[in-house]
Amino acid sequence: MRMSANPILRYVALTYTWLFRGTPLILQLLLWFNLALIFPTIGIPGLFEVDTVSLMTPFVAALLGLSINQGAYTAEVVRAGLLSVDTGQYEAAKSIGMPRLQALRRIILPQAMRIIIPPVGNEFIGMVKMTSLASVIQYSELLYNAQNIYYANARVMELLIVAGIWYLVAVTVLSFGQSRLERRFARGAGKRS
């Protein structure tokens, strides 16, 4: 949307990325989780209304906070990847009569993916680690469960080390997948002489 010729779409996209990249993730999680303090009900008056407390569970708050925040970063990475493709590629597709969406799907995106995959992979891995922040809104994720156990048995360091090992396992698996994706999209790029 930021690359759109429509100024309204550009402004909406700019505001979205500015707002969600400019505020801390933990603040966003807390705002979503406590949304009922501002809006006791959500819906259309007269048609349907839902109590916000029953709708905004820790899972929903974590999902919204993490995904909307990550979407702002990913949108900028994708925009940068699209801008990295030479304008001649857009012109060549247009010159052979290819519609804009088809050109984007068949010519531009395959080239941009080489640029997009590494930072999006890094952002995704970072987001997996940031799920630990969801423990502040009582979402039962890895760190929250480790905390509950060490509150009961007082083995703080042991459980923190175990949680760290599980995060390392997850990051290692995701890093392997990311490197496979990078190799797949780098095919045919080769070294130029």
What tens digit of pLDDT does each residue of 125-162 get?
Answer: 999 999 999 989 988 888 889 989 999 998 999 999 99
pLDDT at 191 over 60: no
CA–CA dist 79, 96 (Å, integer): 24
pTM for the model stands at: 0.80
Which residues, 6 or more positions from 28, have their beta carbon under 8 angstroms from its beta carbon?
A: 20, 65, 68, 69
In one-letter notation, the amino acid at residue 144 is: Y
CATH topology for 7-186?
MetI-like fold (1.10.3720)
DSSP helix/strand/coil, 187: coil
What tens digit of pLDDT does each residue of 42-99 get?
Answer: 998 889 899 999 999 999 999 999 999 999 999 999 999 999 999 899 899 989 999 9
CA–CA dist 142, 132 (Å, integer): 7
